[in-house]
Structure 1
Amino acid sequence: MAHLALSIARGWARMPVALRIAVIYLVARLITTAFFLVAASLSTAFSRFGADAGLVDFVLGWDAQWYWLVAESGYPSELPLTDSGQVAENPWAFMPVFAYAAKTIGFVVGSWGGGALVLSFVAGYLACLALHRLLRERIGASAALWAVVFFAAGPLAAMFQVGYAETLFLLLLFLALDATVRRRYAWLYLLIPVMAFTRPGILAFALFLGLHGLVRWFRRRDEPLAGREIAHIVALGALATATGFAWQVIAGIVTGDPGAYLATELAWRRHWIAGGVEGFVPFEGWVQASQFWFAQWGLMSWAGPVVLALLVAGAGAVLLFSPQVRAIGTDLRLWSASYLLYLLAVFFPQSSTFRLLLPLSPLWGAVAVPRSRRWRIGILVLCLVGQWLWIYPMYALGNTFWQVP
């Protein structure tokens, strides 16, 4: 038995990294599929998916329906209104790249849903490869591989198998971060526009590029900063900023309403705020949500912003001082801080919050740094438990306002 285990270990070590990651990814996808099958068997008539739910229903559920609608009907030139005259939920909240890429693949596999599944699945595997490449020179090949394990089997692993734009965005993001870390800025001229029209978040990347440029400037004696690199960083920051606002401009031109995109996004927020929402105010969403949730939990609503401030301070301290987080490098820490600040500025936290944290996945590298096997196995177990605790309410139940992935 010991000889067999040793042979397996040696065979595993000799396998190409891409093949090892493929094995990890496929095993993780089988586990997620098993969770989905159990969730489908537990689905009832009270669920969004009904008593006879199947895997296809889950692939096409929730936001995937909006992406399908974009692929089939495009974007409305006239914003739909509620009975009270406010802008209703509509496709302008969903970027076009994933929708139309899935439609293109769908011509080959036979349906948009099939195209969306293939796109998410393949992009997820490529994202695992990109994450390993991004981390291996900072934390070592072994820890980077464990980070891939946590990423592929994490609590939000269902995103690898449903019609959401998350995995495609993560692939593009990891490639963009890797290009920045390696100072191969030219690749970003291709990646940034595609990222910008795949999923919201490119403005966080613009902030990251600004911080990256400042750090490189202050460290120019240790790491020479050529004039052409300065030009690239400035130009790319401007490109990321321009494309970050481009979708709002496009929505305004098509609909004739300059505030079309923000009004569309706020249409979802109105479900959570008594009395509705008059307009978008940066950072207001988290304050409102902290008060809302504390009231829902029977706690003093004024304590919500206090706890929020403590959480923000705690996250900042971890990014600054944790040796495990410092191990992944300055650029990945800057990205994490930039994205967290972006979420604080624009997002209203609700049941989709955990999904919105997926762009912080490079931090799995910090989790994988401790070399204790017991630690890593324990984290993997927690990932799988978390995955089920996310799939069950979102797909098996899916019958209340807080069960939206």
Structure 2
Amino acid sequence: MVERLLTRAGARGWPTLSAPLRIGILYLAARAVTTGFLILAASLAGPGSRFGPNATIGSFLLGWDAQWYWLIAVSGYPTELPLTESGVVSENQWAFMPVYPYLARIVGLPFEALTWSGAPGWGVGAVLVSLVAGYLACLVLYRMLRMRIDATAATWAALFFAAGPLAALFHVGYAESLFLLWLFLSLWLVQQRRFGWLYLLIPLMGFTRPGVLAFALFLGLYGIWRWLRRRHDALPRRQVVHIVALGLLAVVVGFSWQVFAAIATGRADAYLATELAWRRTAVSAEGFIPFGGFLEGTAMWFGRIWNLGEATGYVVLAASVLAIAALLLFEPHVRRLGVETRLWTASYLVYLLAVFFPQSSIFRLLVPVSPLWGAIALPRSTAYRVAVLGACLVGQWWWIYNMYALANTAYWTIP
């Protein structure tokens, strides 16, 4: 269907349409498909789903972590951390950043008279912010990729992103859409070597969702790369100052939330203890150890759950790291995307390895490497591109069905 749409549009002057209009048409088509999937999933939800047999699309859009964002919007952050019966910190709002919930609250003010899934006004605002930010993120991604690849491939890449396996994030009350907008804008500006706006975008990223420390690592690697190439690619002193200052800003912003949580609650470990509350039942370590969560998660999946042996898991993990490194270094389609995309992808994956505990949320947490859709879109075969789009839609349905229709708290059904 999408291929027929693109073919007919091409015959009628599709290339002459402005990029915002082209991306907008494709984005709306993708959102219609996702809406259909969500409605179907709601009809399939049963008693075993956390949403119950009477699930609605509204309950899906404002379910899971959207409830935490709503709680932040209406009651802020606790000054006293909630504790479990055993006296350890339990899940609470400090794991989530403030920009998205408060922006959704402002956008939702005109809709306060509505009541939707128990979140009057805010629910409408949250969905609107996600939808609009998603469209803008698609447009900026197209602009980013257009600097490295042709318009047709960049358009297909934006479509893969808009209709990809995690496309429901453009609908639900999560901060991902907004974070991706800030991130893609930042990467686009680095590509253009226009650093001024990053002094605003880095704090916006850092207080929208975790991940700005990965951007700090990216800026450090980018600065080293520029320095090594300075004889072939001039590196003015002004740019050196910007890169260093912005890297330091990203580090400060990345750690500042821990300081705010500590000051507000009187506990130095408030943020880390809150984050660890989500993985405490699955890990043995009491505190946070860099890379420890991924190692323990690998042992859990390959050892206790799949019965393949912990050693097998570590071998698979090491092989995966080497394979991804080789992909970023040598794969020709990836290399065409430019050093900025490759360095960002490497930085973000290292960040995930350092801080994340692997479970089904990893699919959602991999969305920031979406500029790689550009490499997937480069082969010119129409049949290939349609097949990729089909795989995207199949993956999207699989994710929505498992995370919403079947929704429970098992490690493999958490979005």
Task: State TM-score, norm by structure 2.
Answer: 0.95
SS of the residue corresponding to residue 223 of structure 1 reads coil
Q: How many angstroms does 1:277 deviate by?
A: 3.4
Cα distance in structure 2, aligned partners of 1:188 and 1:400: 38
Spell out the pairing of 1:5-404 with structure 2 (5 A cutoff): 9-110=11-112, 111-273=121-283, 276-294=284-302, 295-402=304-411, 403-404=413-414
- Aligned partner letter, 1:331: E
Cα distance in structure 2, aligned partners of 1:251 and 1:173: 24
Question: Are the aligned partners of 1:39 and 1:396 in contact in 2 as well (CA < 8 Å)?
Answer: yes
Question: Are the aligned partners of 1:266 and 1:277 in contact in 2 as well (CA < 8 Å)?
Answer: no
- Aligned partner letter, 2:343: L
Q: How many angstroms does 1:96 deviate by?
A: 0.3
Cα distance in structure 2, aligned partners of 1:204 and 1:399: 30
Q: How many angstroms does 1:44 deviate by?
A: 1.0
The C-alpha deviation readout for 1:351-385, integer Å capped at 9, x for no partner, is 10000001000000110111111111111000000
Task: State TM-score, norm by structure 1.
Answer: 0.97
Aligned residues: 401
Cα distance in structure 1, aligned partners of 2:343 and 2:107: 35
- Aligned partner letter, 1:293: W
SS of the residue corresponding to residue 138 of structure 1 reads coil
- Aligned partner letter, 1:72: V
RMSD: 1.4
Unaligned regions of 5+ residues in structure 2, if any?
Answer: 113-120
Cα distance in structure 2, aligned partners of 1:400 and 1:196: 28
Identity of aligned residues (%): 60
Change (3 A) 1:360 1:8: closer
Q: How many angstroms does 1:8 deviate by?
A: 5.5
Cα distance in structure 2, aligned partners of 1:360 and 1:51: 35
Cα distance in structure 2, aligned partners of 1:131 and 1:74: 33
Unaligned regions of 5+ residues in structure 1, if any?
Answer: none
**Stretch of structure 1 that moved more, 14-23 or 388-397:** 14-23
Moved over 4 A (4+): 5-8
**Stretch of structure 1 that moved more, 194-203 or 15-24:** 15-24
Cα distance in structure 2, aligned partners of 1:286 and 1:165: 23
The C-alpha deviation readout for 1:210-264, integer Å capped at 9, x for no partner, is 1111111111112111111111111000000000000000000000111110000
Q: How many angstroms does 1:271 deviate by?
A: 2.9
Cα distance in structure 1, aligned partners of 2:130 and 2:240: 35
